[in-house]
Structure 1
Amino acid sequence: MPYITLKDLGIYLEVNPNCKDERLTNIDRQQIIEAYLDKGALLFRGFKTDQAIFRSFAQSFCDFSVFNGSKQRKLLDGKNNIQTVNLGFDEFPLNAELAKDPWKPEVCFFACLKPPTSGGQTTICDGIELVKRLDKKLDVNDQKRLKKNFLVYQNRATQEELDFWLNDKNDLSSIRSDCPFNFIKTKDGISSSYIVPALHKPMWKNQLAFGNLLLIARFRHKLKNFPFFGDGTLVSTELLQTVKDEAEQITHEVNWQESDVLMLDNSRHMHGRRAIVEDDQRLILSSCGYLNFAHESSYFIDGPWRKENWGHRLPVRLERY
């Protein structure tokens, strides 16, 4: 008898044990990988989960984990970069985890140790399906702007970053050969810029996807110039309102149950959160990282952040907002 049952719920597969005491860390790894490559979103329900089990499960699929510098998260395991999700109560627009950084994780794991009492559903949106909807909804000019343009994430550079990436701290052009940033002088000091396609191809699908920080930057943090288009123009609120409206039509809510674990392709899916009642004592863990089978992807990027001696928390880039 198979150890698990896979139930297709549309945007994700629900994975259930076939016996009461089946352990999350014992189920067939290859079966999970195949399901993940196809769907990109798996919800494990009915297994016992605690922080140690969650860590072992995530590590069985990842070479390394990545640190999220948001001030709104609590670090629970510094060695393995296990954190809580954002501890606030407000709704979170859809976003791709750490999309502003070159070391954007390939996969995100979430574990519910204590579900919210009201609200707080995690939202999931397939970036591939969103592009298909936008192709029908946007005018030709906006379609071209997304498909032909780039997004620029520009931040004020920290001294730690400059020390790390520059061979000569007095020469902004003396960047290391593996540096993914450009450093420029601005009226506010020295800034680092990271450039990515406005629409990209996920790791496991040869189709364009929408997955970035535009919605959360504009509709939560009210930022109009982060990120901006590679031609120097701002992304219009009208365009993003259309993206937001179309995304909502294909957004699915995960109603958390205790011990649920969600495995999400961060190159394909965006995620967010519905609002939570204040003082809710929910506890949801997160662990994001780099897949140990990623080299099988046509879009594999072997950046320095994948190396064991890189540190994965240095240089720390705190959230701009």
Structure 2
Amino acid sequence: MLDRSDVTAQPLREDGRLPLVVRPVRDDLEAGPFLRANRAAIDHLLLQHGAILFRGFSIDSVERFEVVIQALTNEALAYEYRSTPREKLGGATYTASEYPAMHTIPMHCENAYQRDWPTKLLFACARAPRTGGQTPLADMVAVMSRISPDCFDSFRTKGVAYLRNYHDGLDLSWRNVFQTESREEVGAICRRLEIDFEWVDDGERLRTRQLAQGVARHHALDQTIFFNQAHLFHVTSLGRETADALIETFGLEDLPRHACFGDGSEIPSAQLAEIRAAFEAEKVHFDWQQGDVLLVDNMQVAHGREPFTGDRLILASLCDAYSKCR
């Protein structure tokens, strides 16, 4: 248990379990020593609540955030085989996904499109937005309760195949995704991560396909979690009009991103709508305050991002890997 002479701890909402909000009760409480001394209790609370918001510890710089990362995790992950634009700021610290401020980032579990993923996520608010910009959370058990057994079973038995085509000027380039200028290194990374790849159009364009899980067993709980990003990668995540235009231009095989079941069959639109509605219904919001740190169990809890105004800067770190490729 946390020492209540140091902090208070209670859920953000009386009717919910996440996030648990931990606040210092005295001004001289230093984050690093406190977190290191209470690591076991914090890990236990994370399994109970799924997410913990540390508020009032003034973690608003890369240097202070690195202290928190080292105190609360065993291993920081490099962000490879990227899905979103990020900047590395030093050590284990990246910016959170840098999509334009007017866009919503849909709810997801980090790297669930891969066979490698972090079990812990850490975020820190270096600069709070003027409006919006929340990082909504969703309890995956509650999300799964809204997904029909037929839909869940389809993903459990078939898995998900993620297709990516790296067209010039569309989405992320292969150089960004794989963080290299070398085609040979791309091949080595793909083989290590069990990603099928080929260079098409006379070797000018990279195409990748990875078969990954539809559901996964939680690393510490006796529980199977709906764990994939099919609803993000599927072309319809861009809206029907944009999806139709991309399909007309490229066809399904050459889309910049797409997802289907692992056996190659298309995911029914009704199931995708069901999944998106389940995530939307379970969103829990809080407004970022400068210096906040959010610790997330990446399998129990999904996250996203709301549109914002102002100069928002959220730091991020992906930690403590689970891998099916090691």
State the TM bucket, normalised to the shorter chain: 0.7 to 0.9
Task: State the distance in 1 between where 2:197 and 2:144 align.
Answer: 32
Structure 1 residues 280-300: Cα deviation after superposition (integer angstroms, max 9, x where no partner): 111111111226xxxxxxxx5
Structure 1 residues 189-216: Cα deviation after superposition (integer angstroms, max 9, x where no partner): 6644322221222222222222322233
Please identify, of 142-151 and 79-88, the stretch whose mean Cα deviation from structure 2 is larger. 79-88
Residue 109 of structure 2 corresponds to residue 96 of structure 1 = yes
Query: So what's the TM-score if we normalise by structure 2?
Result: 0.75
Q: Which amino acid aligns with 1:181?
A: I
Unaligned 5+ segments in structure 1 are 167-174, 292-299, 305-321
Other-structure match for 1:319:
none
Task: State the distance in 2 between where 1:62 and 1:188 align.
Answer: 44
| Aligned partner (choices 64, 68, 86) of residue 98 of structure 2 | 86
Task: State the distance in 1 between where 2:304 and 2:130 align.
Answer: 18
**Within 5 Å, which residues of 2 pair with 1:23-42?**
23-27=30-34, 28-42=38-52
Other-structure match for 1:312:
none
Structure 1 residues 34-64: Cα deviation after superposition (integer angstroms, max 9, x where no partner): 1112222111011121321111111221323
Structure 1 residues 255-297: Cα deviation after superposition (integer angstroms, max 9, x where no partner): 11111100111222211011113xx111111111226xxxxxx
Structure 1 residues 45-104: Cα deviation after superposition (integer angstroms, max 9, x where no partner): 111213211111112213233226466333321x43433442521111112222223332
| Aligned partner (choices 161, 171, 181) of residue 152 of structure 1 | 161
Q: Which amino acid aligns with 2:131?
A: S
SS at match of 1:228: strand
Task: State the distance in 2 between where 1:199 and 1:33 align.
Answer: 23
Give the conservation status (yes or no) of the 8 Å contact 1:75–1:84. Answer: no
Q: Which amino acid aligns with 2:49?
A: K
Aligned pair in 2 of structure 1 residues 161, 152: CA closer, same or farther (>3 Å)? farther
Structure 1 residues 98-137: Cα deviation after superposition (integer angstroms, max 9, x where no partner): 2223332221111011111111111111222211221xxx
SS at match of 2:136: strand
Task: State the distance in 1 between where 2:306 and 2:193 align.
Answer: 37
**Within 5 Å, which residues of 2 pair with 1:214-293?**
214-218=230-234, 220-221=237-238, 226-277=258-309, 280-290=310-320
Aligned pair in 2 of structure 1 residues 33, 144: CA closer, same or farther (>3 Å)? closer
Give the conservation status (yes or no) of the 8 Å contact 1:92–1:216. Answer: no
Task: State the distance in 2 between where 1:106 and 1:5 align.
Answer: 25
> What is the CA-CA distance between 1:145 and the residue it aligns to?
1.1
Which ranges of 4 or more aligned residues in structure 1 deviate by more than 6 Å?
Answer: 184-190
Task: State the distance in 2 between where 1:94 and 1:262 align.
Answer: 16
Percent identity between the two aligned chains: 23
SS at match of 1:22: coil
| Aligned partner (choices 122, 125, 130) of residue 112 of structure 1 | 125
Residue 180 of structure 2 corresponds to residue 164 of structure 1 = no
> What is the CA-CA distance between 1:187 and the residue it aligns to?
7.7
Aligned pair in 2 of structure 1 residues 99, 16: CA closer, same or farther (>3 Å)? same
Aligned pair in 2 of structure 1 residues 204, 152: CA closer, same or farther (>3 Å)? same
| Aligned partner (choices 53, 56, 62) of residue 64 of structure 2 | 53
Aligned pair in 2 of structure 1 residues 208, 132: CA closer, same or farther (>3 Å)? farther
Task: State the distance in 2 between where 1:142 and 1:302 align.
Answer: 24
Task: State the distance in 2 between where 1:216 and 1:123 align.
Answer: 16
Number of residue equivalences:
279
Unaligned 5+ segments in structure 2 are 167-173, 175-182, 244-251
Query: So what's the TM-score if we normalise by structure 1?
Result: 0.76
Aligned pair in 2 of structure 1 residues 67, 217: CA closer, same or farther (>3 Å)? same
Other-structure match for 2:180:
none
| Aligned partner (choices 4, 8, 19) of residue 7 of structure 2 | 4
Q: Which amino acid aligns with 1:232?
A: G
